[in-house]
Structure 1
Amino acid sequence: MQASSQTVRKPDQAAPGLLLDLEERIWRRRALLLPAAVYLGVRALGVVVLTVFAALHETSLLSRIAAWDGEWYLKIAASGYELGPVPDALGHPNPHTPRAFFPAYPFLIRILAPAFGFPAAALVVSLVAGLAAAYGLARLGRLVRGGSRRAGYLLVALFAATPMSVVLTMAYTEALFCALAVWTLVAVLERRWEFAGVCCLGAGLVRSTALALVVAVVVAALCALARRADGGRPLVALALAPAGLFGYLWWTGLRVRPESGFEAQLSTWSDLEWQGWRTRFDGGVSTIRFVAEVVTRSDSAMSVLTVAVIFGALAGLALLARRETVLVVYAAGVAVMVLGSSSLMHAKPRLLLPAFTLLVPAALALVKRRTATVWWVCSGVALASAWFGAYALTVWKYAI
């Protein structure tokens, strides 16, 4: 009788275990899909609003998402850097102007172009890279001090709704760079130095903002070597991290100034930026003048919004100051490069997009709020970002 009783009870005893296992599987699937769902949901809202604005202003959606820098990347993807003499900022033909654009993004477009066509391939690269960035941010939100799974999801939402996040769904390099940058930072925090070095190398082939990432990785690796925590493995990151950026700068100088010395070749890219777009590092003089002009005289909505983003970035940097060193160094590096440059002032909200670690304090603060509050805040930010991006691409008549 005892054996019979045990036989009868086994299914009942197993049921709670099966239910728990099923619940765990469901939760894991939700956790796997949620970063993508959050990112795509916010970006879909931005695309819908941009579509409406494009229709109101009698322009096409495709022409907007492939405008300005997108046109350059598509041309380079199709024909390489030898585009012939191209007018620079002064209207002078310059055959080397295309080399101001880094090669990784047009290279990926060219690989996918036979299957999708060039414009669609550019958007596919941005889409996949944006999703990779979302999963990296979800992980970063769990790794930071005081972080959690929920903080990671909120970080994804805030990133997707960053001012000028519309470029994440354009033929621009921001999505690809942010994906490589966030996984570099994740790898550093997890002390996977080899992976950090490879990702940083790749980021250096995407855009010059990689300099901030290189500095952050170098600082983190030197600190690890000083602590003797990971043996000689940080040396791998020290060797790989700068290779992509400085390799491309050197290669550009070699193509443009083959007879010059090494230092002159490294500075060639900066010279092309100055010749083509009147962009160079001036210590922030141009930005200060712009802010002062806007605060005292400007009646342009785009100018006011740009200044608001600048102040917001500075506030975020102050709040980030006590977080992990690698995050602070990276964000500070991006801020110094962007705000210390004489580049197009109204492009600064876009150029600040890679400083996504500035969003960490906001994500951690939202974790402590009620769910309803979080929904209202995230929805409001997403709507504001969607409007800002649509306005910048359709109403504003100048490059961003």
Structure 2
Amino acid sequence: MSPTAPAEAALLLETRSCRPAPGPATGLRGRGLAALRRAAPALLAYAALRTFVLLVFGVWAHKEGHGIWPALAADWDSKWYLGIADHGYEHTLGTRRDANNLAFFPLYPYLVKALAVVVPGSRATVGLLFAAGCSFVAAWGVFAVGDRLHGRRVGILLTFLWACYPVGIVQWMGYTESLFTAFAAWSLYAVLTGRWVWAGALAALAGLTRPTGVALAAAVCLCGLLTLRRGLSRRALCGALLAPLGWLGYVGWVGLRLGRWDGYFAVQRLWRNELDGGIETLRRFRGHLAYDSSPELFLVLVTAVLLGSVLLYGFSLADRQPLPLLVFTGVLLLIVLGSGGVYFSRARFLVPGFPLLLPLALMLARASRRTLTVGVAGAALGAAYWGGYMLLVWPSAP
């Protein structure tokens, strides 16, 4: 042995001992990068599909003489959110139908207002870019749930199918669907992985984003409380208590602002969004499918989406999906189908219900290559057609 060997060995040990051990931040960053690399194919597929839809819409809009940016950033419900960002909420209930902006939940417009302070461009542009950015966070969460339950292939297909949703063009519009789906997907993933505080906090934020946030709160609350049967878990209890705070907080604030305990529900009545047990929905089904001699094509699509969602929920039950997913999509369906409100928006309200697409993702994952190719191509073409049709052809869209 060389006479310098012991000294070299001692120096090597000393050098190794001086290296800092991986800290929590390093480990968290590493896990995040690994998760992002695993989700990369799903995110690329999502980006490719949404870009394809946007290009088809752009060509179609140019031929029709319509502007692309106004339709995506500053029309229909986008105007309501931008109005809230610019002027705030109403102070009185009033009596006009479909005119009180207290029906729209506050998180998205106020985030747009805050971002517009530091991001160049109009609030409409900021809102559109923010919604598109949220759509990628949502797509990642959708993949994470599918990957967690059935593996990477199913996660990628689930993300792609969510991108292909017939009215999925709203994912890249100045709307709340992308933000709400991001909260829903990651909250459900947190429940599946036992991160109860995160699940409750994200559910609370979802409850400040859309009225249907109550569906996510119900899922987190119920599953958190059921967990307590196996013994006291402070984290599960905390998550269950946090989950409904956003929705309850906004509903309570509206009541205080209007000076009546049922203020929020009075606003919803002005928008004809009362729950009627599905009577209006069944009437619409019968009218569009049986008695209308010349039904509007887009309303037939909405009807098909609603009926298909019910069928997919039955398949979800048969597949024994985890309880959080079943509760979330079940309550979401009850709200959408049981409301007497505007009919043409019902398909859009189900955009966050991505677990309903899991049976289709599983079916495609097991299909032959030819069937998979036909299914993927058909879904992509359908998404492009219906997105353009909704914004450019149907007169009352979106």
Q: 1:88 to 1:373 in 2, by over 3 A?
A: same
Distance 1:29 1:136, change over 3 A: closer
Give me the whole-angstrom Cα distance separating, in 1, the residues matched to 2:137 and 2:370: 28
- Work out whether 1:131 is the aligned partner of 2:133: no
Equivalent of 2:238, from 205, 226, 236? 236
1:117 aligns with 2:112: no
Residue equivalent to 2:263: 268
Q: Over residues 325-380 of structure 1, what are the superposed CA-to-partner deviations in whole Å (9 max), with x where a residue is unaligned?
A: 11111111110000100121111110111211101111112111234432321221
| 1:375-390 pair list within 5 angstroms | 375-390=373-388
Q: State yes or no: 1:223 paired with 2:223.
A: no
Q: 1:55 aligns to what?
A: 62
Structure 1 equivalent of residue 308 of structure 2: 312
Matching residue within 198, 203, 209 for 2:201: 198
In the alignment, structure 2 segments of 5+ residues that lack a partner are 1-32
Match of 2:103 among 100, 105, 109: 100
Residue pair 2:145, 2:155 contacting (<8 A) in 1 also: yes
Partner of 2:359: 361
Amino acid at match of 2:373: W
> What is the CA-CA distance between 1:142 and the residue it aligns to?
1.7
Secondary structure, counterpart of 1:345 in structure 2: coil
Secondary structure at 1:233's aligned position in 2? Answer: helix
The reply on whether 1:42 has 2:49 as its aligned counterpart is: yes
> Match of 2:76?
68
Give the equivalent residue in structure 2 for 1:21.
Answer: none
- 1:250-329 to structure 2, matched below 5 A, reads 250-257=252-259, 260=260, 264=261, 267-275=262-270, 277-298=271-292, 299=294, 300-321=296-317, 322-329=320-327
Runs of 4+ in 1 over 4 A off after TM superposition: 26-30, 82-87
**Gap change, CA 1:30 and 1:182, over 3 Å in 2:** closer
SS in 1 for 2:101: helix
**CA displacement at 1:273 relative to structure 2:** 2.0
- RMSD across aligned positions (CA): 2.1
Contact 1:133/1:182 (8 A) holds in 2 = yes
Question: Structure 1 CA distance, aligned partners of 2:378 and 2:283?
Answer: 31
**Distance in 2, Cα, partners of 1:78 & 1:37:** 35
Write the letter of the residue equivalent to 2:253.
W
Give the stretch that moved more between structures: 81-90 or 332-341. Answer: 81-90
Q: CA deviation at 1:82?
A: 4.9
Give me the TM-score of the superposition, normalised by structure 1.
Answer: 0.85
Query: 2:38 aligned with 1:31, yes or no?
Result: yes
- Please, which runs of 5 or more residues in structure 1 have no aligned partner? 1-25
**2:344 counterpart SS class:** helix
Deviation (angstroms), 1:297: 2.7
Range that drifts further, 344-353 or 73-82: 73-82
Number of residue pairs aligned between Structure 1 and Structure 2: 359
Within 1, Cα distance between the matches of 2:36 and 2:159? 17
Cα distance, 1:104–1:360 mapped onto 2, change above 3 Å = same
Residue-by-residue CA offset, 1:179-218 (whole Å, 9 max, x unaligned): 0001010000001001001100100000010111111111
- Relative to 1, partners in 2 of residues 1:188 and 1:29: Cα closer, same or farther, differing over 3 Å? closer
Q: Deviations over 1:17-40 (max 9, x none)?
A: xxxxxxxxx998753422221111
The residue type paired with residue 69 of structure 1 is D
- TM-score normalised by the chain length of structure 2: 0.86
1:130 CA drift (Å): 0.5
- The letter of the residue matching 1:270 is F
Matches of 1:120 and 1:375, distance apart in 2: 36
Aligned position for 1:393: 391
SS in 1 for 2:276: coil
TM-fit CA distance, 1:76: 1.1
Distance 1:243 1:27, change over 3 A: closer
Equivalent residue for 2:162, pick from 155, 159, 165: 159
1:327/1:85 CA distance change after superposition, 3 Å: closer
One-letter identity of the residue aligned with 1:105:
Y
Is the 1:83–1:98 contact (alpha carbons within 8 Å) kept by the matching residues of 2?
no
The 1:85/1:333 distance shift into structure 2, 3 A limit, reads closer
Query: How far, CA to CA, are the matches of 1:29 and 1:139 in structure 2?
Result: 10
- Alignment partner of 1:346: what SS? coil
How far off is 1:83 after superposition?
A: 9.0
2: CA distance between counterparts of 1:358 and 1:169?
Answer: 21
The worse-fitting range, judged by mean Cα deviation, of 30-39 and 329-338 is 30-39
